[in-house]
Structure 1
Amino acid sequence: MIGKAFTYKAGAWLTAAFIMVSGETSMASSLRLEEPAVFAGQWQATLSAAGDDRQAQTQQDKPSNTCGVELRANQTLGEGADCLGAWLEQLPIGWFADPDGLSITGNEGSRIQFFSRQRDGLYLSTLKSGLIITLERTAR
């Protein structure tokens, strides 16, 4: 009787371990890392409050809440880096793709802001102040 109880308990543990290991493998394979060329080009950054309509913010003629940002294929930031830096309170130098988003880096190469992927061409990040920066690819 004790031998069967040990066998059932060991079987339950082995089954749970197998499910955990196979789940981690399938989760990791579902997130793909895009090539830098996919992100290279012109993007529009929009700064807004949590309750603001993003489209309405974009259509307003306020240079303080929108700016164009160039993500270069060599993973550096071009035009618009200073505008984005004013919101991040640190000058962004580069960027890199993450499986679930896009990271902006500072002069030491460390991440200063992460933008989570909402859909292709649309990424969001919330600042410590609660303001939201939206990165959206502009028409090619």
Structure 2
Amino acid sequence: MTRYVLTDTTMAWLMAVTLMMTGATSMASSLRLEEPSAFAGRWQATLTGHNDTPETRSLQDKPSNTCVVDLAPDKTLGEGADCLGAWLSEAPIGWFPEPDGIAITGKDGSKIAFFSRRGDGSYTSRLSSQLLILLERVGH
């Protein structure tokens, strides 16, 4: 007959693992998925570098690195989709909200870009180690 003895160390380890697992679950469930209407409207997309400041971004108002993109209520992209597509791997067709940002989709419905929430009403998507797209609502 074999007896299993749980030591204090083993019990502490098991309790720590259990707490970590339940904490991660509750954190993930605390992110709220916004309705598409919360994002529908006109957004300014700016192609920028990681080290740009708000002052240098304001000087980058050339058509080549700034465009206005319309996120339609039916989760399609309207005006500005071609401009945004020039920076992405393929032409963007649609979008949908995610708990921590906005996803942009291609022609087959797959996600081609993700804009993560920055916390100040703006979103960013990393294109490379040097470039990112800053997405900010127009008129808010």
- Same fold judged by TM-score > 0.5? yes
**Structure 1 residue 9: Cα displacement:** 5.1
Secondary structure class of the residue paired with 1:6: coil
Q: Does 1:69 align with 2:87?
A: no
Amino acid at match of 1:27: M
Unaligned runs of 5+ in 2: none
Residue type of the partner of 1:128?
S
Q: Is residue 137 from structure 1 mapped to residue 103 from structure 2 by the alignment?
A: no
Deviation by residue 1:74-130 (Cα, 9 ceiling, x = unmatched): 111000000000011311001111111111110011110111100253001111362
Runs of 4+ residues deviating >6 angstroms: none
Tell me, in whole angstroms, the C-alpha distance in 2 between the residues paired with 1:61 and 1:125. Answer: 19
Contact 1:100 1:117 in 2 (8 A): yes
- SS of match in other structure, 2:79: coil
Q: How does 1:98-137 map to 2 (within 5 A)?
A: 98-128=98-128, 130-137=130-137
Range that drifts further, 53-62 or 3-12? 3-12
Task: Give the C-alpha shift of residue 22 in structure 1.
Answer: 2.1
Superposition deviation, residue 53 in structure 1: 2.5
Alignment of 1:62-101 (within 5 A): 62-101=62-101
The corresponding residue for 1:20 is 20
Deviation digits for residues 21-71 of structure 1, max 9, x if unmatched? 320232112211111110000000001122222453344441111000000
**Alignment coverage as a number of residue pairs:** 138
| Separation in structure 2 between the aligned mates of residue 55 and residue 7 of structure 1, nearest angstrom | 60
| One-letter amino acid of the structure 2 residue matched with residue 82 of structure 1 | D
- Does structure 2 retain, via aligned residues, the 8 Å contact 1:48–1:131? yes
TM-score using structure 1 length: 0.85
- 1:87 maps to a residue whose letter is W
Q: Percent identity?
A: 58
Q: Secondary structure at the match of 1:19?
A: helix
Q: Is the Cα contact below 8 Å between 2:89 and 2:112 reproduced in 1?
A: no
RMSD: 2.2
TM-score normalized by the length of structure 2: 0.85
Task: Give SS of 1:37's match.
Answer: helix
Distance 1:36 1:131, change over 3 A: same
